[in-house]
Structure 1
Amino acid sequence: MKIAFDGKRFFNNSSGLGNYSRDLVRILASYFPTNQYFLLNKNKSERGKEILSHPNVTFVPTSKGNFSRQLKMGIDAQNLGAEIFHGLSGEIPLKWNDKPIKKIVTIHDLIFLRFPEYYSFFDRKMHFWKFKKAAQQADLIIAISEQTKKDIVEFLKVPEQKIEVVYQGCHKAFKEFIFPEFLAATKEKFSLPDRFILNVGTIEPRKNLLNIVKAISGTDIPLVVVGKKTKYFKKIEKFLVKNKLHNQVHFLENVSMEELAAIYRLAEIFVYPSFFEGFGIPIIESLFSGTPVITGNISSLPEAGGKDSMYVNPENVDDLRAKILFLWNNESERKRRVRKGFEHSKNFEDENIARSLMEIYRKG
């Protein structure tokens, strides 16, 4: 089988959609090596270099010209003899020729509709048009969670039977053995405390970092934050200064995937009280790392966390503080939740995801 992918996010994005794209191609190439996988994009980058070393994965430069991704990429895939085109980030090309090809699109979330205040008017309109068009054109839609499936039905008016749920996995670094020497070197490099709680993700209002900071105010619990700063960071910084918390909260940048995996292992608790997620990959990363999770009780977060993670109302700082303190002071409870969480993480193993995807590709 020949399968073509829109490679834009694979090559251009360092996290989020980029990680999803690279992991999906990697696991398919590993578990179904007899297929051919084409990554279409204007150019390639250093990202995903290891995946391109697979003999069955090929970079294909797309036709040049304005709007080539929308107007030419689909036809390029058809001319390669691809039987399937998979748009990995909510979009598929607008133009095709008469050659048969099955069109599949992954939709990650519709947060721009649920939380319009986080997006400009233009971005909301553009996202909606692209996602709606892709949903109409696609033969089948992959949603990354049951929550996203519900949103697609509700907001894009797509029949439920056209949507399949396939959960995301995470980078292999979180599933591999980490040598104690590397853990020690990472701890030293970033001057990490002996014990700390961890938050990972872009520092933006939806991720709700401010409530974590408020929750640890008045305690001696160190917080380590790994994520890209946005203008929302100024609000965090203002609170830290006012409440003399600067020495308690550590912000890390330029962290490699291997170092991030080590930081998860070193953390006592992973705290992720986001207001909304299409899925929540950091939760999966934490479960694979053997770190207990406290997260929001809304959207897709309970799907990712399973029944043995701890859940809070993201708006309730007192609830969040109480649960952080409970786990922080209770080693046996942390270990119990780690054990149960690791069992739940098996739902997101590479092989299960690869087989679910291949079943969808072979359908009809």
Structure 2
Amino acid sequence: MKEIRRKLKAESEKSELPENSFGLSALSSPLRIGYDGKRAANNVTGLGNYSRSLIEHLATQFPANQYYVYTPKITEALKKHQLFLKDNVKLELPPKNSTSPIWRSVGVVLELIRNKVALYHGLNHEIPYGLKENGIKSIVTIHDLIFLVKPRYYKFFDRFIYKYKSRYACKHADRIIAISEQTKRDIIYFYKIDPAKIDVVYQSCDNQFKNLLGENEREFIRNKYKLPQNYLLNVGTVEERKNLLVIIEALPYIDSSYPLVVIGKETPYLKIIKKKIEALDLQKRVIFLKNIPFSDLPGIYQMASTFIYPSKYEGFGIPIIEALYGKVPVVAATGSCLEEAGGPGSRYITPTDSSALADAINTIIKSKEVSSLMAEEGLKYVQRFNADVVTKQMMDCYLKTLNE
């Protein structure tokens, strides 16, 4: 830590900018807000989607402010993303002689001072060193602490780094954003943080999932991927924590006219899944789809009879709200935060109970009344995750932090 502070001081002296050079004017409107943009500028899924969506909605809903996105680099595919084309969003890259890790951890503070940024938001579990010393307020988003709750799913070195960065951020940030009540409870339990310091601000999903497709558009997608008339759907990385195995174990007890469609990044866990499929003679009842364009996903969701998400632990569960926006009944697992995402209209089973899972799915697919009621209740519930709602909550958090 002493070495990091020494480097920050040396960089500040080179800049010939006095400490707190932005002064109180940063608290007046318009605001200047900085972001850790590594994921926003380089990841095309997951945390990248979260980062881009949040900044874009803030920039649209609160256009008077200036939004600075700090990243060591940007992938070619995202250079023309609509976020980075907005007039009030500025992409900030490091000087050519900077090393990426040092710049993100220390050097970016100098850039924040130069840009007179009043508030910095670490979008993924970490913040740079030296923010408080330079009068810059900060917020960090903690998506989950699964590496502490379920450590066996992570390598030792990864756990060490994740814990070090997230614990530092939680201790030193002025406020913490938890993306679910479950994540808030985990932060309090593992890091002994005052609950008053933590705000729960849920996530939304891409607007594409909120637009119901017409019959012609759906049929085009159905023919494109040779999808059956009726099917069950699971979306998510094919890894042990996501728990695809329990769906496979339930499948023999589910109406055989409803095959399972699986979409997700493959990991070595797929070998276990395929071995179980073969053992249960289910080769013709499980369809793996690969390299699906993002624009086709909403249609695949909306044609599903039931969406199944039996993950053993999550920070929130974006795929659930993607399904609910598409008016698709959801069956998920208890034990983490999925009830928060799915609401009271969805069905829940313990992650290891394949029999209960089969019963829940059969109840839905055998009754149009049950299916329709779940779809309507789900669509009503999911409106609390609309972008305008969560964006307003985030801005309220920003203003509260600046006024504390």
Q: Is the 8 A contact 2:260 2:287 kept in 1?
A: yes
Question: How far 1:14 sits from its partner (Å)?
Answer: 2.1
* Secondary structure at 1:94 match in 2: coil
Q: Is the 8 A contact 2:84 2:90 kept in 1?
A: yes
In the alignment, what sits opposite 1:346? 383
In the alignment, what sits opposite 1:62? 94
Deviations 1:226-247 (A, max 9, x none): 1000000000011112222111
Moved more, 70-79 or 24-33: 70-79
Deviations 1:281-301 (A, max 9, x none): 011111111101000122111
Deviations 1:271-313 (A, max 9, x none): 0011111100011111111101000122111111101101111
In the alignment, what sits opposite 1:12? 42
Say if 2:232 is the partner of 1:197: yes
Q: Is the 8 A contact 2:243 2:312 kept in 1?
A: yes
Say if 2:145 is the partner of 1:110: yes
Q: Is the 8 A contact 1:75 1:97 kept in 2?
A: no
Amino acid at match of 1:53: L
Deviations 1:104-161 (A, max 9, x none): 1000000001111101111111111111011111000000000000000000111111
Moved more, 33-42 or 163-172: 33-42
Deviations 1:308-330 (A, max 9, x none): 10111111110001111111111
Give the Cα–Cα distance (whole angstroms) in 2 for the partners of residues 297 and 98 of structure 1.
43
* Secondary structure at 1:294 match in 2: strand
**Structure 1 residues 242 and 137, CA, compared in 2 at 3 Å: closer, same or farther?**
same
* Secondary structure at 2:344 match in 1: coil
Unaligned runs of 5+ in 1: none
Moved more, 264-273 or 250-259: 250-259
* TM-score, L = length of structure 2: 0.88
In the alignment, what sits opposite 2:323? 286
**Structure 1 residues 218 and 343, CA, compared in 2 at 3 Å: closer, same or farther?**
closer
Give the Cα–Cα distance (whole angstroms) in 2 for the partners of residues 116 and 177 of structure 1.
39
Give the Cα–Cα distance (whole angstroms) in 2 for the partners of residues 154 and 82 of structure 1.
32
Give the Cα–Cα distance (whole angstroms) in 2 for the partners of residues 100 and 89 of structure 1.
21
**Structure 1 residues 345 and 237, CA, compared in 2 at 3 Å: closer, same or farther?**
same
Amino acid at match of 1:38: Y
Q: Is the 8 A contact 1:273 1:314 kept in 2?
A: yes
Give the Cα–Cα distance (whole angstroms) in 1 for the partners of residues 186 and 345 of structure 2.
25
In the alignment, what sits opposite 1:124? 159
Q: Which of 42, 53, 71 does residue 106 from structure 2 map onto?
A: 71
Give the Cα–Cα distance (whole angstroms) in 2 for the partners of residues 157 and 97 of structure 1.
21
Question: How far 1:176 sits from its partner (Å)?
Answer: 2.0
- Aligned residues with identical type, % of pairs: 40
Q: Is the 8 A contact 2:131 2:138 kept in 1?
A: no
Q: How many residues align?
A: 364
Q: Is the 8 A contact 1:294 1:309 kept in 2?
A: yes
In the alignment, what sits opposite 1:53? 85
In the alignment, what sits opposite 2:366? 329
* Secondary structure at 1:34 match in 2: coil
Give the Cα–Cα distance (whole angstroms) in 1 for the partners of residues 136 and 214 of structure 2.
46
In the alignment, what sits opposite 2:308? 271
Amino acid at match of 1:231: P
Deviations 1:74-115 (A, max 9, x none): 321222111111000001112348542211100000000111
Q: Which of 240, 262, 268 does residue 277 from structure 2 map onto?
A: 240
* Secondary structure at 2:141 match in 1: strand
* Secondary structure at 1:9 match in 2: coil
Say if 2:70 is the partner of 1:40: yes
* TM-score, L = length of structure 1: 0.97
In the alignment, what sits opposite 2:175? 140
Deviations 1:170-192 (A, max 9, x none): 01110124243332221112111
In the alignment, what sits opposite 1:163? 198
Structure number with larger C-alpha Rg: 2
Say if 2:324 is the partner of 1:302: no
In the alignment, what sits opposite 1:24? 54
Give the Cα–Cα distance (whole angstroms) in 1 for the partners of residues 49 and 57 of structure 2.
12
Q: Is the 8 A contact 1:211 1:317 kept in 2?
A: yes
Question: How far 1:357 sits from its partner (Å)?
Answer: 0.5
Question: How far 1:44 sits from its partner (Å)?
Answer: 1.9
**Structure 1 residues 80 and 269, CA, compared in 2 at 3 Å: closer, same or farther?**
same
Q: Is the 8 A contact 1:72 1:95 kept in 2?
A: no
* Secondary structure at 1:319 match in 2: helix
